[in-house]
Amino acid sequence: QSALTQPASVSGSPGQSITISCTGTRSDVGGYNYVSWYQHHPGKAPKLLIYEVTNRPSGISLRFSGSKSGNTASLTISGLQAEDEADYYCSSYKYGDSLVFGGGTKVTVL
């Protein structure tokens, strides 16, 4: 069982917006602004989409945005595209100099 809780799957039609949640505790998500999000196409290297809750690395589409409220962080994908079909993982710094990940969310573009 992963430290952070994500929905197993989320789906949407092309052009729609979807949101993936990532729920932790005050010791990780709720206590620090060090939540990251990764996109993973199976067989490929994971890609960093969001770091420190809301920041996008250079080259990442504006369609990806992050937010946080209390112990839950969220990733929103706007204007859903076929290429967005992948697994998405959140991670967070955890008290005690540790890092924890979520169990992953499979995004399906209908």
User: In the bound complex, what is the minimum distance in angstroms from residue 15's beta carbon to other proteins?
Assistant: 29
DSSP secondary structure, the chain, as one string: --SBB--SEEEE-TT--EEEEEE--TTTTTT-S-EEEEEE-TTS--EEEEBTTTBPPTT--TTEEEEEETTEEEEEE-S--GGG-EEEEEEEEETTTEEEEB--EEEEE-
Residue nearer to other proteins on the CB measure, 46 or 79: 46
* Residue numbers 48-107 binding other proteins by CB under 8 A: 48, 51-52, 57, 89, 91-93, 96-104
Q: Which residues bind other proteins (CB under 8 A)?
A: 2, 6, 34, 36, 38, 43-48, 51-52, 57, 89, 91-93, 96-104
